Amino acid sequence: MIAGSGRLVIVAGPSGTGKTTIVRHLLGVFPRLAFSISACSRPRRPNERDGEDYYFLTADKFREKIAAGDFLEWEEVYPGSFYGTLRSEVERLWNADRHVIFDIDVKGALNLKKHFPKQSLTVFIQPPSVEALEQRLRARNTETPGILEQRVNKAKDELTYAPKFDCIVQNVDLQNAFSAAEKLVGDFLGDK
């Protein structure tokens, strides 16, 4: 367990719900929030930078860090594809007197909440429907048909976890989702 006086805003939801867009918006509204960079073992996309978007690790290096206890939480989200939150990342941000915001998978969010039940707020970003989510993922045009099908099936499972979160923001209209998220986070942090 790490000690710190900061708070954790943990945003999660299925791929394609707009959680990354909402997190970026919140970072612009609340100056004391800082983004927790997750680690992953998937290949880097052309527009991504190591240490900014993710800490990119090989699957073997990721497993070594798991064995060493370096992660607060981690998941094998897809076979051979690991994602997790490094303990050192949260320590780094808390040492800088920042509150930490996360954009992570659903199970990882609930695992983090177990570590920090009183210091964290879990926010589930929900799509209007599975069909709308599938349309959003297709519009991104970043996945093969097989990966797209995997993501949609995973999303159906992840939607069942929504009631376990502190609050749910339904992203039907992005501006309304921004407003709802701002209110929740503002109330939780008690400052801007």
Sheet holding 33-35, edge to edge: 33-35, 99-104, 8-12, 120-126, 167-170
Residue 3 lies in a domain: no
Q: How far apart are CA 1 and CA 25, in angstroms?
A: 30
Residue with tokens 């527009």: 47
Give pLDDT, residue 1.
46
Average pLDDT for 69-91:
91
Average pLDDT for 153-174:
93
Residue 161 has pLDDT above 90, yes or no: yes
Give pLDDT, residue 21.
94
Take residue 57 and report the two structure tokens written for it: 């690790």
DSSP per residue, 126-162 = E-S-HHHHHHHHHHHT-S-HHHHHHHHHHHHHHHTTG
CATH code where residue 151 lies: 3.40.50.300
Q: In this structure, are residues 26 and 171 in contact, taking their beta carbons and an 8 Å threshold?
A: no
Residue 91 lies in a domain: yes
Q: In which domain, by residue range, is 95 found? A: 8-189
Residue 1 lies in a domain: no
Highest mean pLDDT: which range of 44-48, 148-152, 178-182: 178-182
Average pLDDT for 35-63:
94
Q: How far apart are CA 10 and CA 124, in angstroms?
A: 8
Give pLDDT, residue 138.
74
Average pLDDT for 147-153:
79
Average pLDDT for 47-55:
93
Q: In this structure, are residues 114 and 160 in contact, taking their beta carbons and an 8 Å threshold?
A: no
Average pLDDT for 126-134:
85
Average pLDDT for 16-29:
94
Residue 180 has pLDDT above 60, yes or no: yes
Single-letter residue type at 134: E
Whole-prediction pTM: 0.88
Average pLDDT for 68-91:
91
Total tally of structural domains belonging to the chain: 1
For 89-101, b where at least 16 C-beta lie within 10 A, e where not — what string? bbeebbeeebbbb
Q: In this structure, are residues 113 and 73 in contact, taking their beta carbons and an 8 Å threshold?
A: no
Residue 139 has pLDDT above 80, yes or no: no
Residue 62 lies in a domain: yes
Q: In this structure, are residues 151 and 15 in contact, taking their beta carbons and an 8 Å threshold?
A: yes
Residue 52 lies in a domain: yes
